[in-house]
Structure 1
């Protein structure tokens, strides 16, 4: 066989071998890509995204779109060829698998966590919007989750209202951890609670719950890194009672990043006129009960998805501005927001046409 032919054959076989290796050898990466965007002022799946009853609402026009990111599943094993293609693709992003699924988190665990965060973001969006409208909202501290196998299992339950710890009144979730960690591991801590069933019954009957009970739990030692501390194995959260019903109907979405857009959608439906002035506004960002907007993941994917849908303006958490401004889709203006007040102020400027002083990312 001539040397040239042999060299070409060897090169071809080597290329085939490399391609086979690229296809069959998994790599520890996952992929993110732009997901669907949904107008919080409109319908999705045949019904309104925001449904409000017991309070006068107003017609809203324009768009206040929440944005999403698609990610590969926890058990999906990307091969080398797919990873290289993802790295080269402009609208996709390849990240280490552990970035999306840390500590070996399963698909089921990730879905459950995202569902819980999504539910909490809806509650905070309602609170933030109503506070902007000076509508009173009753709030209290609850047991959010109980760790399986912890001292609190069987003693405290999700939904129990925590009135006090060791006789000290609890006003916010952070108070619970502060009071528990005053103890040394092995010491007892006393919770004064309203059982979840009693709280639910009182809410249904529109009365103040009267039944409380004391629960004493022996603390154990935390197993996280750093200084050891006393724990009982719960996480505390906040629950609310609203003066009228606000339902958010949006299936197959998880995580906390739609909070800001839900809050703005609620505000728009409860106030006369159009918050957007008919413009196509999209955005993202977590929100807390006080209206503070927090950063999210996948900002580059969300701006691409928003612009592809037709968005002209994108409400961007201040902490995401730097990353978003590096590769802004043409025709999309990024507006920096730190609070719901910032977002409402920017929308007011858009309605008036006075956009020269908008707080833009990259300025």
Structure 2
């Protein structure tokens, strides 16, 4: 066999061996890519994303799109070839698997956590939007969850409204822990509650829950410092003065909070906040209207621009990363609160974009 032919054959065999190794060799990575965007002012799967009843609403135009990121599943085993292709693809990002699924979370655990965060983001979006409009929202402390096997199991339930502990009124979730830890393990702790069923009925009727009952729980002992515990996590729930339904399937996590809140504000405001412009964005939001950072910012800006967005509302803490690679034709607007975002929308709708606070590279 001629030397040249032998060399080509050896090279071909080596290339084949490397390709086989790339296919079968697993890489501890996951892939992120731009996901779909949804207009919070419009419909999704034939239903309005935001449905408000019991209060006057106003026509809206333009777009206030929430953005998403596609990620490979927790159980997906990426091979070396796929990792290399992902690194080379312009619109994709390959990241360590543990960045997306820390502590070895399963697909089911991750989905459940995302669903819970999504639900909480909707609640906070409603609260922040109504506060922005000066509409009062009543808050109450509730049992958010009960630890299995704890002293509270079977006595307290998720959704119970906590009115007082040992006769002392509670006004915030942290008040519950402070009052419980005044006890020693083995001592009774008396909770004054409104049962979850009554609270749910009251919420549907947009009224404060009534009909209290008292429940005595023998405090347990915490691991570590041995302080008294009853085995619940306290949280906050709200009574809204009218109905706001947010419906969006196949989406999880907290990052749509800001755009949901802005959609609610726009529907409840006589003025058209967008001026017919195509605006997208992202960001978590809390009850006070503070906008927080999210993951996958560059994927979201790409997805937004591909959908047609001209402006992108960007959490302040994500600005530097987003500004590192801005899609052509997209203006990144820096926001820290819902008030920042509303003021930015007013400028965009009027064409007064010179005064926008834009993201800059660090």
Q: TM-score normalised to the size of structure 1?
A: 0.93
1:214 — aligned with what?
Answer: 215
Q: How does 1:80-95 map to 2 (within 5 A)?
A: 80-95=80-95
1:283 — aligned with what?
Answer: 281
Q: Secondary structure at the match of 1:356?
A: helix
2:40 — aligned with what?
Answer: 40
CA 70–204 in structure 1, closer or farther in 2 if over 3 Å, else same = closer
Q: How does 1:145-294 map to 2 (within 5 A)?
A: 145-181=145-181, 189-204=189-204, 206=207, 208-222=209-223, 231-294=229-292
Q: How does 1:341-352 map to 2 (within 5 A)?
A: 341-352=339-350
Q: How does 1:295-310 map to 2 (within 5 A)?
A: 295-310=293-308
Q: Secondary structure at the match of 2:36?
A: strand
CA 257–182 in structure 1, closer or farther in 2 if over 3 Å, else same = farther
The size of the alignment, in residue pairs, is: 360
CA 233–301 in structure 1, closer or farther in 2 if over 3 Å, else same = farther
Q: Secondary structure at the match of 2:303?
A: helix
Q: How does 1:62-77 map to 2 (within 5 A)?
A: 62-77=62-77
Residue by residue over 1:248-292, the C-alpha shift from the partner in whole angstroms, topping out at 9 and shown as x without a partner, is 111111111111101110010011121011111100011111111
CA 89–212 in structure 1, closer or farther in 2 if over 3 Å, else same = same
Alignment of 1:103 with 2:121, yes or no, is: no
CA distance in 1, matches of 2:333, 2:264: 20
Task: Kindly indicate whether the alpha-carbon contact (under 8 Å) linking 2:219 and 2:228 is maintained by their aligned counterparts in 1.
Answer: no
Unaligned runs of 5+ in 1: none
Task: Kindly indicate whether the alpha-carbon contact (under 8 Å) linking 1:282 and 1:314 is maintained by their aligned counterparts in 2.
Answer: yes
Task: Kindly indicate whether the alpha-carbon contact (under 8 Å) linking 2:217 and 2:230 is maintained by their aligned counterparts in 1.
Answer: no
2:123 — aligned with what?
Answer: 123
**By how many angstroms is 1:75 displaced?**
0.9
1:112 — aligned with what?
Answer: 112
CA distance in 2, matches of 1:184, 1:24: 58
Q: Secondary structure at the match of 1:238?
A: strand
Residue by residue over 1:128-147, the C-alpha shift from the partner in whole angstroms, topping out at 9 and shown as x without a partner, is 11111111111111111223
**By how many angstroms is 1:204 displaced?**
4.8
Task: Kindly indicate whether the alpha-carbon contact (under 8 Å) linking 2:161 and 2:196 is maintained by their aligned counterparts in 1.
Answer: yes
CA distance in 2, matches of 1:30, 1:189: 47
Task: Kindly indicate whether the alpha-carbon contact (under 8 Å) linking 1:321 and 1:362 is maintained by their aligned counterparts in 2.
Answer: yes
**By how many angstroms is 1:356 displaced?**
1.4
CA distance in 2, matches of 1:113, 1:147: 16
Task: Kindly indicate whether the alpha-carbon contact (under 8 Å) linking 1:155 and 1:217 is maintained by their aligned counterparts in 2.
Answer: no
CA distance in 2, matches of 1:299, 1:145: 32
Q: Secondary structure at the match of 2:171?
A: coil
Unaligned runs of 5+ in 2: none
Residue by residue over 1:153-199, the C-alpha shift from the partner in whole angstroms, topping out at 9 and shown as x without a partner, is 32321101122334443222233344445566666544332221232
Task: Kindly indicate whether the alpha-carbon contact (under 8 Å) linking 1:30 and 1:78 is maintained by their aligned counterparts in 2.
Answer: yes
CA distance in 2, matches of 1:188, 1:3: 90
